[in-house]
């Protein structure tokens, strides 16, 4: 298995395989038989992360999907991620083990709403976070993830108007780090929006020496950076990072305590990579129900029965591919949102 974002690897040894429970053997056996690669986002349940070939953030997994020579991509994550894989690899079979695994943030804008917004700003460049439907991507000029959003915005010529969607907190963060004046859609993720400034203040008051990692989708991002600038949070120990950036941080940090503001699934990777540091959630109830839908049972069913195959209409896929390919060309896989 490789842990991306990007990647540290650990290879399963024959000794490990002797100890593996049966369902994991079965996943490996079926994956080989189907010529499948199993990709898992950093937020899915730990046991699914552990059996995957690659674990990572949205950008890193998109890159793996684009480069993979497997015939089948099993995406343990949510629908927009599987659609992105299909857009990048239209000739491959892409499976999403749980067809109901959606994304509240992606649901905040549809293609009709985007077309209406574009009509109000003719000539503007549309930068769409990858957490969007394939139809919205097809209406966009370039996609980004939390790993490369600032680099993507910097790539837009300075004299062009920008429509940034759909996440208001990521948009505010990118506006701050790039200094670009952008129009930002007022969408939010129901999980990250609830990680509030109050949560952050309470956790920091209880653990004043801890380092702080904040995902840019969080409702507390602006507050975290404001408090860092006023000295209420330690500026040298407060960072805004994508999940991939958090994984990179965990590999090298010597901080004894780290408070993590994002979906709690990331803690599994952070703790596995660094057992000397104590990683804790800023809000332990920040759990994405969509990310938790993929279980060992649904992964096995997906590999056995070929469910659920993701399709994207060819004209939508073709237009979305341009925006997605621009995204994967920009920004280092290991950097955070700035």
The upper half-sphere exposure of residue 10, i.e. CA atoms within 13 Å in the direction of its Cβ, equals 10
264 contacts ligand SF4 (rule: CB under 6 A): no
Binding partner of residue 62 among ligand SF4, ligand 13P, none, CB cut-off 5 to 8 Å per kind: none
**Which residue's CB is nearer to ligand SF4, number 233 or number 286?**
286
242 contacts ligand 13P (rule: CB under 6 A): yes
Nearest-approach distance from CB 99 to ligand 13P, in angstroms:
18
Backbone angles phi, psi at 25, to 5 degrees: -60, -40
**Which residue's CB is nearer to ligand 13P, number 189 or number 211?**
189
* Chain residue whose CB lies nearest ligand 13P: 57
Cis ω for the linkage preceding 16 (within 30 of 0): no
Number of residues that bind ligand SF4 (CB under 6 A): 13
108 contacts ligand 13P (rule: CB under 6 A): no
- Tell me how far apart the alpha carbons of residues 102 and 304 are, in angstroms, rounded to a whole number: 22
Nearest-approach distance from CB 216 to ligand 13P, in angstroms:
8
**Helices 243-252 & 266-273 angle (0-180, nearest 10):** 20
- Tell me how far apart the alpha carbons of residues 266 and 163 are, in angstroms, rounded to a whole number: 30
- Identify whether the C-beta of residue 187 lies closer than 8 Å to the C-beta of residue 165: yes
Nearest-approach distance from CB 205 to ligand 13P, in angstroms:
26
- Tell me how far apart the alpha carbons of residues 123 and 317 are, in angstroms, rounded to a whole number: 22
List the one residue from 131, 133, 140, 294 that touches ligand 13P (CB under 6 A).
Answer: 131
288 contacts ligand SF4 (rule: CB under 6 A): yes
- Residue 24: partners with Cβ closer than 8 Å, 6 or more residues away: 50, 51, 296
**Which residue's CB is nearer to ligand 13P, number 168 or number 243?**
243
58 contacts ligand 13P (rule: CB under 6 A): yes
Tokens of 141: 């000029």
334 contacts ligand 13P (rule: CB under 6 A): no
Selection from 46, 93, 74 nearest residue 301 by Cα: 74
185 contacts ligand SF4 (rule: CB under 6 A): no
Beta strand 36-41 with 72-76: parallel, antiparallel or unpaired? Answer: parallel
131 contacts ligand SF4 (rule: CB under 6 A): yes
Residues 2-41 that bind ligand 13P (CB under 6 A): none
Alpha helices in 143-278 (DSSP H): 149-154, 168-178, 197-206, 221-230, 243-252, 266-273
291 contacts ligand SF4 (rule: CB under 6 A): yes
Backbone angles phi, psi at 257, to 5 degrees: -130, 135
188 contacts ligand 13P (rule: CB under 6 A): no
Residues 301-330 that bind ligand SF4 (CB under 6 A): none
Selection from 242, 109, 80, 220 nearest residue 167 by Cα: 109
In the block, which residue shows the tokens 């999940």? 243
SS3 335: coil
Stretch that binds ligand SF4, among 2-10, 97-105, 113-121, 195-203 (CB under 6 A): 97-105
Binding partner of residue 188 among ligand 13P, ligand SF4, none, CB cut-off 5 to 8 Å per kind: none
- Tell me how far apart the alpha carbons of residues 278 and 291 are, in angstroms, rounded to a whole number: 24
**Which residue's CB is nearer to ligand 13P, number 131 or number 298?**
131
List the one residue from 217, 240, 269, 303 that touches ligand 13P (CB under 6 A).
Answer: 217
Chain residues binding ligand SF4 by CB under 6 A are 78, 103-105, 131, 189-192, 263, 288, 290-291
Chain residues binding ligand 13P by CB under 6 A are 57-58, 131, 145-146, 189, 217, 242-243, 263
């Amino acid at each position: 298995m490789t842990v991306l974002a990007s990647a540290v690897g650990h290879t399963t040894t024959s000794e490990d395989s002797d100890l593996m429970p049966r369902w994991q053997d079965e996943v490996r056996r079926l994956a080989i038989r189907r010529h499948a690669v199993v990709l898992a986002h950093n937020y899915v349940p730990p046991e699914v992360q552990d059996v995957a070939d690659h674990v990572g953030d949205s950008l890193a997994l998109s890159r793996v999907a684009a480069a993979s020579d497997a015939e089948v991509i099993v995406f343990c994550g949510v629908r927009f991620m599987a659609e992105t894989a299909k857009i990048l690899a239209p000739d491959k079979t892409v499976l999403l083990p749980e067809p109901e695994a959606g994304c509240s943030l992606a649901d905040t804008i549809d293609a009709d709403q985007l077309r209406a917004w574009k009509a109000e700003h003719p000539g503007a460049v549309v930068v769409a976070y990858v957490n969007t439907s394939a139809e919205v991507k097809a209406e966009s000029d370039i996609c980004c993830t939390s790993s490369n959003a600032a680099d993507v915005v910097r790539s837009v010529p300075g004299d062009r108007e920008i429509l940034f969607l759909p996440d208001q907190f990521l948009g505010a963060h990118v506006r701050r780090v790039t200094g670009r004046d952008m129009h930002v859609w007022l969408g939010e993720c129901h999980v990250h929006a609830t990680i509030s400034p109050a949560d952050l203040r309470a956790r920091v008051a209880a653990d004043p020496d801890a380092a702080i990692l904040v995902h840019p989708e969080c409702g507390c991002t602006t507050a975290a950076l404001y408090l860092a600038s006023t000295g209420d949070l330690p500026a040298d120990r407060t960072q805004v990072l994508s999940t991939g950036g958090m994984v990179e941080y965990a590999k090298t940090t010597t901080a004894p305590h780290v408070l993590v503001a994002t979906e709690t699934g990331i803690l599994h990777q952070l703790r596995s990579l660094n057992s000397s540091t104590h990683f804790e959630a800023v809000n332990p109830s920040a759990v994405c129900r969509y990310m938790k839908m993929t279980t060992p049972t649904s992964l096995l069913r997906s590999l056995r029965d070929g469910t659920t195959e993701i399709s994207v209409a060819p004209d939508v896929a073709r237009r979305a591919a341009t925006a997605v390919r621009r995204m994967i060309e920009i920004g280092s896989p290991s950097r955070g949102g700035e």
